[in-house]
Amino acid sequence: MFNKILIANRGEIACRVIKTARRLGIATVAVYSEADANARHVRLADEAVLIGPAPVRESYLLGERILEAAKQTGAQAIHPGYGFLSENEDFAEACEAAGIAFIGPPASAIRAMGSKSAAKALMEKAGVPLTPGYHGDNQEPAFLAGQAERIGYPVLIKASAGGGGKGMRRVDRAADFEAALASCKREAINAFGNDHVLVEKYVLKPRHIEIQVFGDKHGHCVYLFERDCSVQRRHQKVLEEAPAPGMTPERRAAMGKAAVDAAKAVGYVGAGTVEFIANQDGSFYFMEMNTRLQVEHPVTEMITGLDLVEWQLRVASGEPLPLRQEQLSIDGHALEARIYAEDPDRGFLPSTGRLVHLAPPPESDHVRVDTGVEQGDEITPHYDPMIAKLIVWGADRRQALSRMRQALSAYRVVGVQNNVEFLSRLVAVPSFAHADLDTGLIEREQALLFPAAGDVPADVWLLAALAELLREQRLAQKAAASAPDAGSPWRLLDGWRLNGSAVRQLSLRLGEAVQDVAVSVVPGGYEFNLAGQRVFARGTLGADSELMAQLGERRLRAAVVAAGERRQVFFEGRSWPLAMVDRLHVGGEGEEAEGGLRAPMPGKVIALIAQPGAAVEKGAPLLVLEAMKMEHTISAPRKGVVKAFRFAPGDQVADGSELLEFEKAE
């Protein structure tokens, strides 16, 4: 076994590898960019080495700098995590040439599976079922369009070197093929340095099922069962579970055998995942092989009781697989939800900023949180906006679902937009609860997943007001305790006045809606007047912002987090971003709705679609912005005229930058 390893990655996966290494007594070396100087993985590692500026091409993708750091620190092996250099055969070869173990498959296996088109040709020879499509080298747009016609719409265009949903588009008709192809190629060249694509038949109502495989250097290979990763948005996984609902022992054995055959065909060593597209009738087709550890590997760990990172370390050091196929078994059911800094209501646009408040549910034998950030850390525009992975286990799927709902309702994130509430709705929709799964679930459940914003419940306004008063009281008591006249009655916030108790007014806002709450101090608490309704209130506010409240005769539990003027209220599995209103402040009238369109996030302009002077309809695409390696189309908010663009393709823009001049049509 190794004494010291270097982790050529960042964030959640780097922290995950450090956890296992520490348990095994292995020293760890972290690498970091300038943007990650204070990152959690740097804080956790035994040593850390700076490898470059924030852009990944100048830091985490520079194999020579990472190898130099390994030599400098005496690391015997490099764990690449996932993403970055984890599937780079040149880096694997460079590690071997330098006498440093690569904790992953041999370069030959990465090379064989690195091109989706080449991998499919190899799988065809190995007898693994394939989706109908074109996987060749001819990349002429007209030729590819012809292949799409031959295959029959709908088709899926996929970057051959891709992953994570990047460089992937579904096309339903010939008229849309050219634009989708151009967009795929742009995204692929920016994300992977290779714009080669393949075209496949799009399977209607498909399920995405993957098999975890593991091989060693002694010729042994096993499969550690399957994961269902069908629930996706923009071709990126959102929820994963193991085992796959409805999987029969016969189908599991067939898919497991196909996955092992695929791994053996390339002499696979280490952890890998063979991904399949499955029809509702049980038939399945090889999609690709990921020659690394997957983001969703914890659900496999939860149902097998194994540590896959430990297996990686043991296999890379030359040990045989710890268990044989017949020794592996499934225990219970596990679910994983990916907690992202993103805004589901704005097309899942990534969000950046400081994590002002971050309180995950407490971990236990059946609740696990894998994260690369802590409260106070920054979510930057440079990297994937994942906050954490929330994993739960249950004796069966029903119990696991119940525990996931409970854990999500306890998750508190303030400072960035996030998908926690969206995930809570997602695990509750009947189709997911009843395992009616396919990759289009989110799209077909739009009405339930994106409900219209309703009125704020009265309890939410009252809880925010109560928390504000308790917070004021706590601050006053703290100030009084350190003052020379600590016992002075003038320091009490008890509402006493010479001619009777005072009535004060708290004003709270959500968007354009402002709600006033009149407050009187009464024996034992407060009396609130909300829209003519009088309610007695009292409670306690913990240092962690947890609120135990009594409203009338009811006892309620909530959390109210203060950040600047924001008062984020968490109650009954939902959250409301209220704000305190200062009635004495006189502000401006705000920016006019027309005149310009602003960037929803930092990024780079990569294409101008509309022409200056062009009249456009509402929803017409105007330009394409790239952020976090994904393309985002900026569309016309209403019918109007594009007067002029403020930026050219290739220009970097800051969050909120005015992108173009737009004039509303009369």
Written as one letter, the residue type at 624 is V
Residue 583, C-beta contacts closer than 8 angstroms, at least 6 positions apart? 505, 507
Task: Give the tokens for residue 171.
Answer: 């096309």
Q: How far, in whole angstroms, is CA 482 from its chain's centroid?
A: 45
Residue partners of 293: CB distance under 8 A and separation at least 6 = 13, 81, 82, 86, 271, 308, 309, 312
* Residue among 129, 188, 182 at smallest CA distance from 160: 188
Reported as a pLDDT band with limits 50, 70 and 90, residue 483 is low
Of 10, 227, 252, 292, the active-site residue reads 292
Tokens representing 58? 């100048």
134 backbone dihedrals φ, ψ, rounded to 5°: -115, 125
pLDDT at 587: 34
Is 385 within 8 Å of 344 (Cβ atoms)?
Answer: no
* Percent of the chain residues past pLDDT 70, beyond the cut: 94
Cβ within 8 Å of residue 386, ≥6 positions away: 11, 12, 338, 339, 340, 341, 372
Q: Output the CA torsion sign for 366, 436, 234, 571.
A: negative
> What's the sign of the alpha-carbon dihedral 347, 353, 357, 360?
positive
Strand 378-379 with 353-354, pairing: antiparallel
Structure tokens at 301: 């760990």
pLDDT at 633: 78
User: In the prediction, which pLDDT does 328 show?
Assistant: 98
Question: For residue 11, what is the DSSP state?
Answer: H
Mean pLDDT, residues 295-319:
98
Active site residue 292: yes
Does 579 score more than 90 pLDDT? no
Q: Which of 199, 143, 137, 205 is nearest to 167 (CA)?
A: 199
Q: Tell me the pTM.
A: 0.81
Q: Where does residue 282 fall: left (phi above 0), alpha (psi -120 to 50 degrees), or beta otherwise?
A: left
Q: Which two tokens stand for residue 579?
A: 């704000």
Query: How far is residue 532's CA from residue 490's CA, in Å, rounded to a whole number?
Result: 31
Measured between alpha carbons, how far is 390 from 136 in angstroms, rounded to an integer? 39
CA-based nearest residue to 101, from 2, 239, 207:
2
pLDDT of residue 125: 84
pLDDT digits (tens, 9 = 90+) for 329-382: 999 999 999 999 999 998 898 998 899 999 999 999 999 999 999 999 999 989
Q: What is the pLDDT of residue 595?
A: 52
Average pLDDT in the 463-492 region?
A: 80
**Range name among 243-247, 332-336, 498-502, 589-593 with the lowest pLDDT average:** 589-593
CA distances from 49 to 33, 59, 70, 384, 435 (A): 9, 11, 9, 21, 46
Q: Which range scores top for mean pLDDT: 84-93, 188-197, 509-518, 572-581?
A: 84-93
Please, which pLDDT band fits residue 495 given cuts at 50, 70 and 90?
low
User: How many Å apart are CA 630 and CA 234, to the nearest integer?
Assistant: 10
Contact 419, 339 (CB under 8 A): yes
Angle at 143 between CA 140 and CA 146, to 5 degrees: 150
pLDDT of 592: 35
| HSE value, Cβ hemisphere, 13 Å, CA-based, for 140 | 4
Q: Which of 44-48, 490-494, 560-564 has the highest mean pLDDT?
A: 44-48
Strands 574-580, 503-510: parallel, antiparallel or unpaired by DSSP?
antiparallel
* Packing angle of the helix pair 11-23, 308-316 (nearest 10 deg): 70
d(CA 555, CA 151): 62
Q: Give 341's contacts (C-beta < 8 A, 6+ positions apart).
A: 350, 351, 352, 353, 379, 385, 386, 387, 413, 416, 417, 418
